[in-house]
Structure 1
């Protein structure tokens, strides 16, 4: 970041100080550090309210499980996944749900910085250990892009790529059809809703280990559908990182 750009960002931070995404109160701190992307992005009190994903969790999808004797959650035991592993930041409830819904539906695109930096901080080593060499966001349809004016998964993915130094391709995957909102469907309807939803814009995944980025993991159908497209096109491993994930119990 050049000096002029840093000065402008510092001034913007002073005029429009950062607010906690949970309580919406102004976060006091070093404006210069925040402008460099190093500042605190969530107040300490609210950070404690979030249910951060911790062991024990499913070794496949990363959902919390009741005890360490359980290797895979009930969903992953019943269903064959096309992705290899998925990990998330928070249980999708309470304060985390508020953050992710504001981010997705209410124009708070600045939350992408928080989510992306936390994913990189917690799972950067996990990505390196697995040899991931490409980051790809789950795409949205043209209609939803016009409505929201941004792809929330891409906002997160850019930050993860920047923080980890892993290569990033925003438009590698395309969305062929306008799908219904997954939250309004049951598991069978969700799977059918996503059939043929994604396609590859360019053949650039041969022998690659790809990590998909999305905001929320529910049944895993979205990640599965995208992972299948990538594997059919030559990707040898497909992982995923998400902001929130549902519980298995």
Structure 2
């Protein structure tokens, strides 16, 4: 009954505030007629779906970044060859350039509804793999509280909730907190990113019993944020820390 009422509520919102296509940002019809029946509308325009590009192999065995031309000869990207990462492994769904504008609107322009499409594609592309890893908890990258209040939401939390629904693994939001308002990562180089994040996170529980977790974020660049969070969880007794991001760049 609860699930039915929630679905009814969401459909009602779609009528009042029509869903937007995650590629072109145009309105997507809340309903469609198929085989003589009224059905829920699609999450993306069919023509826009053709523009979406997904992460494909060969991929770095550590971070999951596409290896490009060097993939024929290498197992790891250049970054993972020279950097000691604390995370166990990582996955991303979309090739960065094809979804950069979409993720920007999701992150900064309030297009929280895009998360439904993102999660559906995550489940379609990676759901079976993620469920096979023994993941016990989905944990979004936390945002500094004042920054979250200013923006109105944490996009990683929105995404984590939707992915949790799709793949059936519980999501937790209050196990780790961001206790420092760090500089924007896009302003820093790789070394600066790592220094910027030192002591930025703190686990809020003394009884973390998970052995395998999945960290959720929007974009993977150097892995500095994921590494700092992974390090905290490893110190707390977690054995494996995987991550999932919406997009990732490619080794050139």
Q: Normalized against structure 2, the TM-score is what?
A: 0.90
Describe how 1:47-126 pairs up with structure 2 within 5 A: 47-66=49-68, 67-93=71-97, 95-126=98-129
- The aligned length equals 244
What's the counterpart of residue 165 of structure 1?
A: 168
Are 2:20 and 1:19 aligned? yes
- Quote how far apart the aligned CAs of 1:108 are: 1.2
- Quote how far apart the aligned CAs of 1:45 are: 2.1
- Quote how far apart the aligned CAs of 1:197 are: 0.7
CA deviation string 1:12-69 (max 9, x = no partner): 32343322121122334636754xxxx5212222222222101111111111112344
Check conservation: 1:134, 1:208, Cα contact below 8 A.
no
Q: The residue matched to 2:164 in structure 1 has which SS?
A: helix
- Quote how far apart the aligned CAs of 1:232 are: 0.4
Give the unaligned 5+ runs of structure 2: 33-37
For 2:113 and 2:20, the matched residues in 1 are separated by 10
Check conservation: 1:17, 1:27, Cα contact below 8 A.
yes
Q: The residue matched to 1:9 in structure 2 has which SS?
A: helix
Residue from 117, 136, 139 that aligns with 1:136: 139
For 1:21 and 1:144, the matched residues in 2 are separated by 24
- Quote how far apart the aligned CAs of 1:109 are: 1.4
Give the unaligned 5+ runs of structure 1: none
Q: The residue matched to 2:139 in structure 1 has which SS?
A: strand
What's the counterpart of residue 215 of structure 1?
A: 218
Q: Normalized against structure 1, the TM-score is what?
A: 0.91
